[in-house]
Amino acid sequence: TPGHADFGGEVERILGMVDGALVLVDAAEGPLPQTKFVVSKALKMGLKPIVVINKVDRADARPEEVVNEVFDLFAALDASNQQLDFPILFGSAKEGWMAASPEGPKDAGMQPLFALVLEHVAPPKVEEGPFRLLGTILEANPYLGRIVTGRITSGSIAPNQAVKALDHDGNLVEQGRVSKVLAFRGLERVGLEEATAGDIVSLAGLPDATVAHTICAPEVMEPLPAQPIDPPTLSMTFRVNDSPLAGTEGTKVTGRMIRDRLLREGEGNVALRVTESDERDSMEVAGRGELQLGILIETMRREGFELSVSRPRVLLRRDSSGVLLEPIEEVVIDLDEEHAGIVVQKLSERKAELVEMRPSGGGRQRLVFYAPTRGLIGYQGELLTDTRGTGIMNRLFHEYAPHKGPIQGRRNGVLISTEAGDAVAYALWNLEDRGPMMIDPGTRVYRGMIVGEHTRDNDLEVNVLKGKKLTNIRTTSKDEAVRLTPPLRMVLERALAYIQDDELVEVTPKSIRLRKRHLDSNERKRAERQRLAEDVA
């Protein structure tokens, strides 16, 4: 779907399963920038789309103009002559009709769309030979175990049939029997007695098979060509929340609960890798960028989990000659022309290399960069700010390349609370000269919690509980009401990009707090001395 965050080539794999596509466009808004990403992939794979102009019943509908905009979009995406000669239907899904003209007729319902699909979409390309299926989607089911979905390329499959799984190099992954053959009928999933070439089915009974593996009859030796899964490029440590406020806002707080939830996620999510960490009560989770890991954290938070997470770390490796390599991503940004300069400047500071810049119609431009993954941490929010919400970024893993050197991160230190209790407005007002705050008056704080950003590059310990000294002596001067500058609001993605290696983000269903890894001041000093000694060694 447009705007879908693609974590590992999922769009390409799913497009490889289908024989046709409907491009659904709003009759008033026209094709939106997000539409380009998936449409360009579909056109490159040779699909011949049917264009459906929906919502023609809107008062501001302009269906004829929108058809021209769709044609311009296809032309800009290098569509072939056959693809540019696309069939068009107009209609209103709300009113339940489709027709060859915006005016109707409206009495045929959706029948014209179904008839056009049958006429325009080619039948599935099937091959002769024994059973073969390429895994495209992976999910975990509490009753059936791991389920792999894909399209049958050749042969047929039935429950209890012997099969094996091959990786993309042709190595044997496992042998077994299919326990269930399932297919979708509308939104329902039903069991089948047999499925044949061309069918899209889900197979249960193979605990080790995954996406991009070929599931086939025992006599097959050659795997099907597969889009490789993008390797994880970032890892984070998920730990038990051990702050003084632990357990006050969430219901799932133990290490065992967090471990079980992450292992369950790793079973059904092909782009995640979950392993045990060296630290006590913690798990290492590797994935495709901080956005994917951020979505996982947000999902767990809404399920009632409390946890603390470390700063995202890029997964580096060395080649055979010992050169340090880092992951490089291909970044495609669609934006309005006037914002191109600031985006190029910001990404160049993050060691990105501009490889393509071309107009994409309607006063917009497409920029293509090769950027190191660590340079993209926290950039999504910055892009939306710089482009006033109009910039759209898509990222794909490109390669491992030699390390590009240091990237300037956060320059400022932080303000750390020395006391536990409720923050006082008077104390926050007195500390405003030291830097912007991250908390409101009345916020519960604890020792070692980060309450603001220091104006200098060192950390500063402060007391945000210190109230105004009151005496029984009257003065002629009136007490002035304390007026505070609005605090910095830390959403999850910004918090993950903000923290340093010695800091953690504490995530609960109600709060996102920043804290030091070591809450005690003396422990922090000891850890810093130890780190400096290791750096010297």
CATH number at residue 172: 2.40.30.10
Q: Are both 98 and 160 inside the same structural domain?
A: no
Which amino acid is it at 284? E
pLDDT at 34 exceeding the cut of 70: no
Q: Are residues 140 and 200 in the same domain?
A: yes
- Outline where DSSP puts E strands in 225-363: 234-240, 273-276, 282-287, 307-309, 313-314, 317-318, 324-336, 353-361
522 part of a folded domain: no
Please, are residues 424 and 464 in contact by the beta-carbon 8 Å criterion?
A: yes
* Least confident piece of the model among 120-124, 177-181, 341-345, 347-351: 120-124
pLDDT band, residue 13 (cuts 50/70/90): confident
263/259 Cα distance (integer angstroms): 6
Residue 186 lies in a domain: yes
471 vs 93, more confident: 93
Q: Mark whether 150 and 187 lie in a shared domain.
A: yes
Nearest to 46 by CA among 82, 88, 6, 4: 82
Q: Has residue 250 been placed in a domain? A: no
| The pLDDT of residue 3 | 45
HSE-CB for 506 with a 13 A CA cutoff: 25
User: In 3-state terms, what secondary structure has residue 466?
Assistant: coil
CATH of residue 113: 3.40.50.300
- Whether residue 254 lies inside any domain: the answer is no
The answer to whether residues 58 and 142 belong to one domain is: no
pLDDT at 361: 66
Q: Per residue in 202-216, pLDDT tens?
A: 999 988 888 888 999
328 pLDDT exceeds 80?
A: yes
- Token pair of 60, please? 């501001």
Band the pLDDT of 2: cuts 50, 70, 90: very low
Query: Model-level pTM?
Result: 0.75
CATH label of the domain that carries residue 344? 3.30.70.240
Same domain for 140 and 111? no
Neighbour-count burial for 408-447, b at 16+ CB within 10 Å, e otherwise: eeeeebbbbbbbeeebbbbbbbbbeeebbbbbebebebbb
| 178 has a pLDDT exceeding 90 | yes
| Alpha-carbon dihedral 264, 265, 269, 271, rounded to 10 degrees | -120
Whether the predicted pLDDT of 385 surpasses 70: yes
Token pair recorded at residue 526: 């000891």
**Mean pLDDT score, 173-188:** 90
C-alpha dist (Å) from residue 177 to 114, 160, 166, 510: 37, 5, 14, 46
Q: Which of 86-90, 456-460, 525-529 has the highest mean pLDDT?
A: 86-90
The band of 51, judged by pLDDT with boundaries at 50, 70 and 90, is very high
- Let me know: does 201 contact 149? Beta carbons within 8 Å: yes
Are residues 110 and 156 both part of a single domain? no
Do 107 and 198 fall into the same domain? Answer: no
User: Has residue 5 got a pLDDT over 60?
Assistant: no
* 51 part of a folded domain: yes
Which pLDDT value is given to residue 33? 63
Rounded Cα distance, 83 and 75, in Å: 9
Instruction: For residue 94, count CB atoms less than 10 angstroms from its CB and return exposed for 0-12, middle for 13-18, buried for 19 or more.
Output: exposed
pLDDT value at residue 227? 73
Q: Between helices 379-386 and 340-349, what is the axis angle to 10°? A: 160
Q: What is the pLDDT of residue 380?
A: 83
In a domain, 2, yes or no: no
Give residue 152's domain range: 132-216
Predicted confidence (pLDDT) per residue in 111-134, tens digit = 999 999 999 988 888 888 899 999
**Beta strands in 142-256, from DSSP E residues, in sequence order:** 145-154, 156-157, 162-166, 172-177, 180-185, 188-191, 195-196, 200-204, 214-216, 234-240
On the question of pLDDT at 457 being above 90, the answer is no
Q: For the chain, what percent of residues have pLDDT higher than 90?
A: 38
Average pLDDT along the chain: 87
User: What is the C-alpha to C-alpha distance for residues 201 and 269, in angstroms, rounded to an integer?
Assistant: 19
- Show which of 216, 250, 284 is a domain's final residue: 216
Q: What percent of the chain has pLDDT over 70?
A: 96
Sequence-distant (6+) residues with CB within 8 A of 371 are 328, 329, 331, 347, 350, 351, 352, 353
112 with 38, same domain: the answer is: yes
* Dihedral (CA of 27, 32, 36, 39) sign: negative
Q: Per-residue pLDDT averaged across 350-374, rounded?
A: 86
- The band of 271, judged by pLDDT with boundaries at 50, 70 and 90, is confident
Q: Which helix (H) or strand (E) holds 453?
A: strand 449-453
Q: Give tens-digit pLDDT for 392-405.
A: 887 777 889 999 88
Q: Which of 25-39, 52-66, 155-169, 450-464 has the lowest mean pLDDT?
A: 25-39
Give CA–CA dist 163/173, Å, rounded: 11
**What tokens appear for 251 in the block?**
């219901």
Greater confidence, 354 or 125? 354
99 and 168 in a single domain? The answer is no
* pLDDT tens, position by position, 416-448: 999 999 999 989 998 989 999 999 999 999 999
State the Cα torsion 340-345-347-351 to the nearest 10°. Answer: 150
In the chain, the number of structural domains is 3
Number of alpha carbons in the 13 Å side-chain half-sphere of residue 19 = 16
Q: Report the pLDDT value the prediction gives residue 418, as an integer from 0 to 100.
A: 93
Confidence (pLDDT) at 310: 92
30 and 58 share one domain: yes
Phi, psi at residue 438, to the nearest 5°? Answer: -115, 5
In a domain, 260, yes or no: no
Q: Output the pLDDT for position 359.
A: 81
The answer to whether the CB of 275 falls within 8 A of the CB of 315 is: no
Which pLDDT score is estimated for 509?
94
In a domain, 188, yes or no: yes
Q: What is the pLDDT of residue 508?
A: 94
| Residue range 140-146: mean pLDDT, rounded | 86
* Amino acid 4: pLDDT: 46
Asked if residue 5 lies in contact with residue 291, where contact means CB atoms within 8 angstroms, the answer is yes
H or E, element range at 429: helix 425-430
Are 103 and 151 in the same domain?
no
**Residue 379 predicted with pLDDT over 90:** no
Whether 181 and 202 map to the same domain: the answer is yes
Domain closes at, from 66, 92, 120: 120
Please determine, for residue 228, whether its predicted confidence score (pLDDT) is greater than 80.
Answer: no
Query: End of a domain among 120, 141, 169?
Result: 120
Query: What six digits make up the tokens of 83?
Result: 């693809």
- Taking residues 484-507, what's their average pLDDT? 88
